Chains A and B, each alone.
Chain A
Amino acid sequence: MTTKSNSHPQERIGVYVCHCGTNISAMVDVEDVAQWAADKLEHKGVVIARDYKFMCSSLGQELVEKDIHELKLTRVVVAACSPHLHEKTFRTACERAGLNPYLCELVSIREQVSWVHTDKVAATAKSKAVLSGGIERVLWHEPLDPMTVPIHPATLVVGGGIAGIQAALEIADAGHPVYLVERDASIGGHMAQFDKTFPTLDCAACILTPRMVEAGMHPNITLMTWAEVENVDGYVGNFDVTVRQKARKVITDLCTGCGICEEKCPKKVIDDVYEAGLGYRKAVYTPFPQAVPNFPVMDVENCIYFDTGKCKACEKFCPTEAIDFTQEDEIVEFPVGNIILATGYDLFDARRVSNYGYGHLENVFTSMEFERMNNASGPTDGEIVLRDGKTVPDSVGIIHCVGSRDMNYNNYCSTICCMQGLKFAHLVQERTGATVYNFYIDMRTAYKGYDEFYQKVLEEGTRFIRGKVAEVTDVARLPNEEGKLIIQAEDTLIGKQRRIPVDMVILSSGLEPRHDAKEVAKTFGISCSADGWYIEKHPKLDPVATMTEGVYIAGCVQGPKDIPSSVAQGAAAAARVIGKIQQKEMALEPVRASVLEDQCSGCRICNDLCPFNAILFHEDTMLSEINPALCQGCGTCVAACPAGAITGTGFSNEQVLAQIEGLLMDMSV
């Protein structure tokens, strides 16, 4: 037994077929399509069918509005471009004319017909089918009103790098509270590890630390370092955030940042985070001198006390009794209205490119190791030296595109490595007078001052070899290669293979998403691309918003970029958030599911299907219920309900089934 459908009072449908200049009309006979709709679908309720050159123009929209008034239209179907472009335009036009905007349907006969097919007859026939689908569907549309939700004024910024700091400061300066949560012991991110920044060669710490201090002291910023977001529930304007404040083993209220604990700690550990493995730290340590906050953390895995029960030197010497070995992680919960993710990047692991020798050839360095080496407060006190800690190189080779623009590793360009490689070339020249060779594929120096910097480095005498390096080896073939590292590459500008012996090799490693980017994205309910960068709402027109309302992205988490771009995105995300907070409430698209109580039998099959936890079960009434504010409108539960007891507005069963009937309408009749 099939349930019968089809009991509608007759609707009055206006149909509009757009030429889009010649974009559609060159491949689809639009007049024929409109006429066909007027003739063949009159019995469905079509009272007027027009074709027009540019439906999205103000004249085109006025056509729709006029018809709604004069012909008393109850439904509107526009056959034109993609709904992603102009659904809102036509909905707004209907609204202006007094028709509920959700009674308007836009079907695409451009992106999905005229632009992709070559046979005019077939394209016209398909357009008719697509239009018929839209008309059948619109009969089942219902007037809907968006839901408004309040916006909580607090914001969560995840990641205390330059992008996150920028965002946090802007929002805080606008007078709203911010929670800045950073996984490491100090904010600052990768920028804090750099020495000089291109193209101006500003000292990174000099420009960054004032910002860090400001963020640390700002009355509107709650700084949570050594902390990670564990869970986020809720929806835009009303997120419930759970943060694990990891135990530093230091009572921060008592700690003065004097550093005695670190001084007295007997356990040295290789610092592979801040010093990129080039230097040491202690088991209880502050990551770097300008750390904000200036509280140490204890590395429990390497601490002698936690290992053997002995030592406790730090506790003995602490003048304020701030060391607490028994300190536990703390769970902190708080509500926020919006979230900005600025979690940055990881460096490509150069060991993967085994032919470049990093990890087994001693004097091959990664870019981050070199940054630390250059830094005056780094492990070599700013001296550029080989691994032995004393020999100054006479010749240095810098290799671009390590792990980037490479189908074997990452296909994309990491944006900053050319400038980075040039910066290194300049610094090496300046400080050591060594001969410098840069091996590049293309020179990417696109932004303000970048190409000028490149020209300067050219003039300084750096040698540039255009060719992807095949190998870095220590196997000498000629006497002048003995004891050196030999870089082998094809110099494509002269068409010859070259072997260049150098003392030191620096790999300009690429940028990668954080190793746990996918899990973190899931926590916040957003998606990653296949590469792992977070997906923006629109690649050109909306780079800091995501598909999830209320969650924004800024900085390298969205894709490799330089510092000015990260700062700009941090500011952009902050501006979006400030705008939302000031509006105090927000309208949500009314596409969501709801349970028909009478028909629900409480089988609970739907309960576990919602990743947004929008489905609740009431034990007392044995009924499932959907929270409309949490529901994102995916429709999975609508499709899963065995009793057909869940309906979905905007994409109801009746609407889709009618659309299928329309699409498969017999055109020969």
Chain B
Amino acid sequence: MTLATRPVILLVIALGYTLWAGALVALYGVLSLGCVFGWEEVMLGPLNLQRGLLLLLWLLSVLVIALLAWQTWSWLQSARGDRPPPLPRFTLWLAAACSIAAAGATFFMGLPILGASACI
């Protein structure tokens, strides 16, 4: 597993949480801009524009990070057979675990979108 033993694996390990941080900034930003520009007054069916955008952004972020988690998980699985040395398995495990954790964190962090008031 050449990826698992090159320095770029450190970036892969960090990628999931970096995307989580980006999601936080994006959600906070869309929320703030939405209140300033009055997007919560624009109705799209049962939801207002701001809430809809937030839901979309949240689920999209979770999806992207979950895809990363799935990819790193499958790399880990393919490293399991035929007793490969521990180091590649270790770094791949870290990459998968951090990505899964980041996906979970992004999901949990966005739960308030389901109920909290956006502009008061």
Asked whether A and B interact, the reply is no
* Contacts from A to B (Cβ < 8 Å): none
Where the two chains meet, the residues of B that have a C-beta atom closer than 8 Å to any C-beta of A are none
